[in-house]
Chains A and B, each alone.
Chain A
Amino acid sequence: EIVMTQSPATLSVSPGERATLSCRASQSVSSNLAWYQQKPGQAPRLLIYGASTRATDIPARFSGSGSGTEFTLTISSLQSEDFAFYYCHQYNNWPLTFGGGTKVEIK
């Protein structure tokens, strides 16, 4: 099983600042990596797939990069609606696995 490790667990950021979230895979997942945003009481929302492609209607301030085992989600200028949990997800191998999540909170 591929273990996905996200860091940091919590990221405190001021509105308008840049946020950088990391995801590491225990073995290569090529570019088969997605990022999701989840707010309390809501379902996850797809942000990024293929490591760097924004999903439909996702603002340009969200960007993804990386391949192999190291991935990054960057939010260029945090808006109030961006404070949430973020999860990475590898779909290169069965079983599909998710990271433990990063909580982005208001500083």
Chain B
Amino acid sequence: EVQLVESGGGLVKPGGSLRLSCAASGFTFSSYSVNWVRQAPGKSLEWVSSISSSSRYIYYADSVKGRFTISRDNAKNSLYLQMNSLRAEDTAVYYCARDHLSVGPTDFDYWGQGTLVTVSS
């Protein structure tokens, strides 16, 4: 069974940093691109960042470019999101999601349950 489990969320002050993790299991992690998608309270979904299977290709939304860094460790079946210079508008549930197809960009067929990040003083 494919599973994605996020961790690392919490309360952080504006300007602070946080590192999210996503542990993958039930599939060959190193064969898939993976993504971070966030959802602010009561709002729609917003794509944040994508990383290809070998980490060769990385993409960011303009809203986080220069502040967030996506990375992965295929040996540990893990995805990460380093978030720096956090702002109130970064408050959201952060989901990791797997690419459906091997040739991207593509839709997302499996999602984690999400981890809540709250940026507030």
Is A65 close to B, CB under 8 A?
A: no
Q: How far is the CA of A92 from the CA of B104 in the complex (A)?
A: 9
Which of A42, A46, A99 is the one whose CB lies under 8 Å from B109? Answer: A46
Is A87 close to B, CB under 8 A?
A: yes
Set of chain B residues within 8 Å of A93, measured between Cβ atoms: 105
Which of B45, B112, B113 is the one whose CB lies under 8 Å from A98? Answer: B45
The number of A-B residue pairs with CB atoms under 8 Å apart is 57
Is B62 close to A, CB under 8 A?
A: yes
Which of B62, B108, B109, B112 is the one whose CB lies under 8 Å from A95? Answer: B62
Tell me how far the C-beta of A97 lies from the nearest C-beta in chain B, rounded to whole angstroms.
7
Tell me how far the C-beta of B46 lies from the nearest C-beta in chain A, rounded to whole angstroms.
7
Give how many A residues have a beta carbon under 8 Å from the other chain's beta carbons: 24
Q: How far is the CA of A107 from the CA of B19 in the complex (A)?
A: 43
Give a binary string over B88-121; 1 marks a CB under 8 Å from any A CB, 0 the rest: 0000000101001000111111011110000000
Q: Closest residue of chain A to B96, judged by CB?
A: A43
Q: Is the CB of A44 within 8 A of B46?
A: no
Q: How far is the CA of A44 from the CA of B94 in the complex (A)?
A: 12
Q: Please name 22 pairs of A and B residues whose Cβ atoms are closer than 8 Å in the assembled complex, sorted by A.
A: A34-B108, A36-B45, A36-B108, A43-B95, A44-B45, A44-B95, A44-B108, A46-B107, A49-B109, A87-B45, A89-B45, A89-B108, A91-B104, A91-B105, A93-B105, A94-B59, A94-B105, A96-B35, A97-B47, A98-B46, A98-B47, A99-B44
Which residues from chain A sit less than 8 Å from chain B, CB to CB?
A: 32, 34, 36, 42-46, 49, 55-56, 87, 89, 91-101
Which residues from chain B sit less than 8 Å from chain A, CB to CB?
A: 35, 44-47, 50, 59, 61-62, 95, 97, 100, 104-109, 111-114
